[in-house]
């Protein structure tokens, strides 16, 4: 009986040792599994938190618009010269006895005068305004002007009936400042003078005209040039 108890005690001790060993191994396995699970979770967390860096596009620069080219002084000069020469080319040379450049207004571009061959054909005065050619018809040999004061006179007549018209250049047209009419006794058989609609004597007429247009300071285009010469003057201006 005593031996049986001993055997039972030894068996119990063996069973307890096996149980303790088994529990120890199980704990180690669980610990390893927990560590592996934790590592996996950490790896997934790190993968999720690492946001992929997107390639940022370099800011695209808007194309700079080409600068609008403003007309230069040189281009303006070339323009009026071209227009004057084009006008000369369009004229009937048989109806023009000559040309000249005059300076009526105070800008840097001269006016072009084309003198007709007779009183049966109009003479013409040309000038520039806003890059365009402007024109005024005049009587044969009728132009006189005061340089750089923007005053000129168109004078003419036929068979003793004459006129004087004082004008200025206003943009693309002309402005009439004063007007006079007179009749020469030696041609018409009687004499009459009228300035701005008012009848007066010859001396009064001349005084009234000179108050507006000083004839002593006026210039007439006495020297006229050929087509080739005037083209050269225009080009070299």
pLDDT in tens, 147-173: 999 999 999 999 999 999 999 999 999
Inter-CA distances, 2 with 8, 9, 12, Å: 10, 11, 15
| Residue 46 placed within a domain | no
Assess if residue 33 is contained within a domain: no
Residue pair 104/150 in contact (Cβ under 8 Å)? The answer is yes
pLDDT at residue 20 in the model: 43
Q: Is 127 a domain residue?
A: yes
Q: In the prediction, which pLDDT does 186 show? A: 86
Distance, CA of 233 to CA of 161 (rounded, Å): 37
- What average pLDDT does this structure show over 15-44? 51
Domain that holds residue 99: 73-236
Structural tokens at position 25:
């191994």
d(C-alpha 215, C-alpha 30), whole Å: 128
Instruction: Name the DSSP letter for residue 57.
Output: P
- When divided into structural domains, the chain yields a total of 1
pLDDT over 90 percentage in the chain:
64
CA distance to 105, 128, 141, 180, 214, per residue, from 93 (Å) = 27, 22, 17, 32, 33
pLDDT of the residue at 68: 53
Q: Is 56 domain-assigned?
A: no
Q: What is the largest CA-CA distance in the chain?
A: 189
In a domain, 197, yes or no: yes
Considering the domain boundaries, does residue 18 fall inside one?
Answer: no
From CA 161, how far away is CA 178, in angstroms rounded? 18
Residue 59 confidence (pLDDT) above 80: no
> What is the model's pLDDT at position 65?
57
| 143 three-class SS | strand
Burial annotation 63-93 (CB, 10 A radius, 16+ → b, else e): eeeeeeeeeeeeeeeebbbebbbeebeeeee
CA–CA distance, 168 with 153 (Å, rounded to integer):
9
Domain annotation covers residue 62 = no
Residue 206 lies in a domain: yes
* Global pTM value: 0.68
């Amino acid at each position: 009986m005593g031996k049986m108890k001993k055997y039972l005690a030894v068996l119990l001790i063996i069973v307890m040792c096996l149980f303790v060993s088994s529990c120890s191994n199980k704990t180690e396995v669980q610990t390893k599994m927990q560590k592996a699970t934790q590592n996996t979770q950490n790896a997934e967390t790190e993968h999720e938190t690492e946001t992929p860096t997107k390639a940022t596009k370099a800011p695209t620069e808007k194309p700079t618009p080409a600068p609008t080219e403003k007309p230069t002084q040189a281009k303006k000069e070339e323009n009026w010269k071209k227009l004057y020469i084009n006008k000369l080319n369009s004229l009937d040379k048989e109806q023009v006895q000559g040309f000249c450049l005059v300076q009526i207004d105070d800008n840097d571009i001269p006016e072009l005068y084309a003198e007709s061959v007779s009183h049966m054909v109009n003479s013409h005065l040309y000038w520039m305004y806003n890059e365009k050619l402007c024109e005024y018809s005049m009587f044969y040999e009728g132009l006189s002007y005061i340089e750089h004061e923007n005053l000129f006179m168109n004078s003419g007549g036929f068979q003793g009936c004459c006129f004087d018209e004082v004008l200025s250049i206003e943009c693309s047209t002309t402005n009439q400042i004063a007007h006079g009419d007179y009749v020469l006794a030696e041609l018409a058989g009687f004499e009459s003078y009228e300035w701005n609609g008012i009848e007066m004597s010859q001396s009064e007429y001349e005084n009234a005209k000179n108050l507006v247009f000083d004839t002593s300071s006026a210039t007439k285009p006495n020297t006229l040039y050929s087509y080739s010469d005037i083209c050269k003057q225009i080009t070299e201006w």
